[in-house]
Amino acid sequence: MTITPQSRSVRDARAFTAPAASALLLSLISSPTNAQIAKYSLATSQVGISAESVTSQGYPQQHSRMAGGLSVGDFNNDSYPDLFIQSLGITPNKLYINNQDGTFTDQAEQWGIKTNLTGMGSAVGDVNNDGYLDIYLVSYGQPGFGNEQPGQCILYLNSGPDEQGNHTFTDIAQAAGVNHVMDIPGGMTPAFGDIDLDGDLDLFVATWRFHDSGNRLFENQFSQTGQTTFIDITPESLSEPDREEIIRGFTPHIVDITGDRYPEILLTADFQTSELFVNNGVNKDGRATFRTTTNKSNISTDFNGMGAAVADFNFDGLLDWFQTNIYVATENRGNTLYMHTQVDNEGDPIFQDQAAARGVIDIGWGWGTAAGDFDNDTDQDLVATNGWPGWPNATTRLWSNDGIGLFSDNSISAGLLFNINGRGLVTLDHDKDGDLDLVFIDNEGPIRFYRNDLAIEDGFTNFLRINFDTSAHPCLAPDGFGTKVYATVNGLTQHHALHNNASFLGQSEFTLHIGMGVATTVSELRIEYADGSTVVMHDVPANQHLNINAYHPMDYTQDAQFDYFDVNAFLTAYHTQNLSADLNDDGQLTDDDIFQFIEQYNDAVTGNCH
């Protein structure tokens, strides 16, 4: 189903703060009494996947032991998610295209990316705003001892279909300026996000090696030049960390957690070097800059941050930050769950680590993780994988949320009782049946695909899934990156943020998944775009896939153009007292709305997104 939103208003997202006590009361009232636990079954062969994650020589230091990731994206725009599994040197890249019948076929060769290389992390995003997802891949070069070298990262640009409907990828990393990350071979997980809100996707690359040239931030120049090029803005945009140690980065998330629309960089890193870079917005030159609030924000208890997930786990409207770590029972340290408690008067986020109290501290030697409503009961659960040679291994974890952010381990009942040397982990709904499936990478072992067999038809596990088309809005990043969704289900409001959705060395599907339990409608669906405009929908039916088209607020005729017809539509609305012309959102139509229209319309025509 495709939705074209009509209403327009502006709202400060920071104003949304539901008290914890209210969240507790509402959760007790609205939680479905017949909630089920997700049921997973190993279905790797059934879905047509046969890949293994076996590493070759050519990785620096211990990187071969850490390797193994994958990313999800709809690369052919058929509305079904596909899988990209990066080469580790023994077997080439895999590109599993969804056959729309619950199975995949590897088409890496047809798409031109069946290449052997020493790959590490990958990310998916549309870097040139052409409507097709591209792939960025951290690579150390050709397999083989002594072949590793810097400057080997890849940016696969998706050409879209030719006259016969065939797609191809072309590596443009060197021309685009993102092939080189460090002065030595290195790099872990990349992430896309629109840091300056100019309508294109910028790139952050986390690096782990002990070297001060790592962890790079690249600004996309597409919105300014129309060319797919990036410039390294790390020295001028990222403030110095407030600790002396070199950041040993693993997993970045680019998402707004302060409510000003500009996304932060939440960098999960090893050896107590995780950093929180708060976005200051753009300076006079139009460039986003960041300040470090790590110590002030209480990001201090993660000893070995590796994988990460960001979600609102307790319905307070604030995004929390979960990190996998190494569990050491004798020291009572392991995973961290930084619960977001407030944004202070200076605009800085404050967190408290509550992993132990909330039941998610123990994962063994943790790696990939993901948040999602795996049982569709309205709250965000957690799944995590783990493993390291010679370390006491632990089973895969699926922690079910009780509705107020307290978790219980339901791995056994969910059918996830297995031990692997886990690394990458992603979520997706591969068969579009309304529940979240899981894919695990086993370092030196086979890929494992677990199908979610949650019984949607029983009426207790309803859902809503949302994709965004922002191609008609020049100031919004592709696919709605930066969009926030507030879904009120049975009186309880869920907060979802569409962002890069990294796990470890990869990226889950970025379709927004809303579990609804027994509810048959979302009573209010509030969509807040990164330009500050909002759309509100009411009584949205459950169990459907929504495709929502976003338009610039000044595009009154919704034809992706700014012309006389938009001016006429605004004046007609103004003279007929239609509140779609209430641009200052004060509930009445005055001369100020006309002045606002002139200013905003001129900005739209000139491409000014700030």
User: Can you give the three-state secondary structure of 282-313, one letter per residue?
Assistant: ECCCCCEEEEECCCCCCCCCCCECCCEEEECC
Q: Which residues contact 529 (CB under 8 A, 6 or more apart)?
A: 470, 473, 476, 480, 482, 483, 535, 550
Kindly state the average pLDDT of the residues 474-497. 97
Please tell me the least confidently modeled range out of 176-185, 224-233, 243-252: 243-252
Compute how many other C-beta atoms are within 10 angstroms of the C-beta atom of residue 549.
Answer: 16
**The pLDDT of residue 241:** 75
What Cα–Cα distance (Å) separates residue 207 from each residue in 146, 464, 486?
20, 36, 34
Q: What is the pLDDT of residue 25?
A: 41
Residue 608: pLDDT band (50, 70, 90) is confident
Q: Are the C-beta atoms of residues 26 and 19 closer than 8 Å to each other?
A: no
Identify the band that residue 392 occupies on the pLDDT scale cut at 50, 70 and 90: confident
| Cα-based distances in Å from 304 to 251, 261, 295, 595 | 12, 30, 16, 53
Per-residue pLDDT averaged across 467-486, rounded? 97
Is 60 exceeded by the pLDDT of residue 348?
yes
- What is the mean pLDDT of the segment spanning 208-216? 80
Q: What is the pLDDT of residue 147?
A: 85
Place of tokens 């509030």: 526
**What average pLDDT does range 538-565 have in this prediction?**
94
What is the model's pLDDT at position 3?
Answer: 52
Look at residue 345 and tell me whether its pLDDT is greater than 90.
Answer: yes
Half-sphere exposure of 185 (CA within 13 A, CB side): 21
Query: Looking at residues 510-536, what average pLDDT do you find?
Result: 96
Q: How confident is the model at residue 18 (pLDDT cuts 50, 70, 90)?
A: very low
Residue 457 has pLDDT above 80, yes or no: no
Q: What is the mean pLDDT of residues 481-493?
A: 97
> Does the pLDDT of residue 469 top 50, yes or no?
yes
Buried b (16+ CB within 10 A) or exposed e, 249-262: bbbbbbbbbbbbbb
What mean pLDDT comes out for the span 282-306? 95
Q: What is the pLDDT of residue 1?
A: 54
Q: Is the model's pLDDT at 514 over the cut of 80?
A: yes
**Lowest pLDDT segment from 149-158, 287-296, 449-458:** 449-458
pLDDT in tens, 66-120: 999 999 999 999 999 999 999 999 999 999 999 999 999 999 999 999 999 999 9
- Residue 35's pLDDT is 61
Mean of pLDDT values over 469-483: 97
pLDDT at 15: 33
Segment 10-21 mean pLDDT: 36
State residue 212's pLDDT score: 67
pLDDT for 12 equals 34
Backbone angles phi, psi at 500, to 5 degrees: -65, -20
Q: Is the pLDDT of residue 29 over 80?
A: no
Confirm if 213 and 183 have CB atoms less than 8 A apart. Answer: yes
Q: Summarize the confidence of residues 370-377 as an average pLDDT.
A: 97
pTM for the model stands at 0.93
CB 471 within 8 A of CB 460: no
Q: Note the maximum CA span of the chain.
A: 75
Question: Given this model, what pLDDT does residue 393 score?
Answer: 81
- For residue 27, pLDDT beyond 60: no
35-46 per-position pLDDT tens digit: 678 999 999 999
CA distance 473 to 558: 10
- Rg value, the chain, Cα: 23
Distance (Å, whole) CA 452 – CA 157: 32
The answer to whether 201 touches 481, Cβ cutoff 8 Å, is yes
Q: What is the mean pLDDT of residues 363-388?
A: 97
Tell me: the pLDDT tens digits for 407-434?
999 999 999 999 999 999 999 999 999 9
pLDDT, the chain, mean: 91
Give the pLDDT mean for 154-162.
Answer: 96
SS3 500: coil
